[in-house]
Amino acid sequence: MNDRTAAPIALFDSGAGGIGVLREVQKLLPREQLVYFGDSRNAPYGERSAQEVKELVLFHGERLLKNAKALVLACNTATAVAAATLRQRYPGVPIIGMEPALRPAVHSLKNPKVLVLATAATLSQEKYRLLQKKYEKNATVWSIPAPGLVRLVEAGHGDSPQTDAYLRTLLADLPTPPDAVVLGCTHFPFAANALHRVLGDIPLWDGAAGAAAQLKRVLEQKGLSASTGAVGSTVLNASDPRSLPLFLRLLHP
């Protein structure tokens, strides 16, 4: 048996957003040891420069990978800015990132109007611009940065009148209501109720389940899956310990 199979999987986000990805990984890989780290002291990453984000992600990614057999960048901004560099530094280690779920949203309807909400850092990356250009042939795509939404979720107000008001202001200039919304930041699913109150009962697409499925595939391919008799566990850590009660509340709603 590979002696790395019992090692933990690290999940990393700028704060609380990646808890949604953690929940999907727990469901799909119940025998794994999971270690979640939210860099809440430095959140939100989406308001920092690309260089700042890259330095933070590389620092924490390398620290977590000292003990972990795999790393999930449960943060769209971290993925966009630093995933490629981490993969170059750790070529044999599974490093799973997030990508805005534009493809399934576009293919779910004929010529849909799709709203992509993400951080400014994610939307400014060449990788995202190419993704949008690819799918604009089959859809109308509106990309809007929503930095205030990250702050509201980090404050525990993702489902609140404050978030409703923020979204109404943010989306006031949309020419028509969208047919679907792509949540291009892992924090945003925690504002799903507010999005439905403001936009109606339309599909919301996020990448959490897809990231968990990709992690499972890669672990199996590399022979790194936990043994059949293993008992899973989850440990939550934060650079600002005051965030831990929020992490727990989001993990066990």
User: Which strands sit side by side in the sheet containing 180-183, from one edge to the other?
Assistant: 140-145, 113-118, 180-183, 204-205
Distance of CA 75 to the CA centre of its chain: 4
Please name which of 132, 127, 153, 154 lies closest in space to residue 142, comparing C-alpha atoms. Answer: 132
Exactly one of 16, 71, 75, 181 is catalytic; which is it? 75
Please name which of 127, 144, 131 lies closest in space to residue 105, comparing C-alpha atoms. Answer: 131
Q: Is 185 a catalytic residue?
A: yes
Q: Is 89 a catalytic residue?
A: no
DSSP β-ladder status, 9-13 and 204-205: unpaired
Rounded to whole angstroms, the Cα distance separating 72 from 49 reads: 22
Exactly one of 185, 204, 211, 224 is catalytic; which is it? 185
Rounded to whole angstroms, the Cα distance separating 72 from 96 reads: 5
Q: Which residues contact 214 (CB under 8 A, 6 or more apart)?
A: 96
Q: How far apart are the first and last CA of the chain?
A: 37
Q: Which backbone phi and psi does 38 adopt, to 5 degrees?
A: -110, 125
The position carrying tokens 């972990």 is 68
Residue numbers annotated as active site: 75, 185
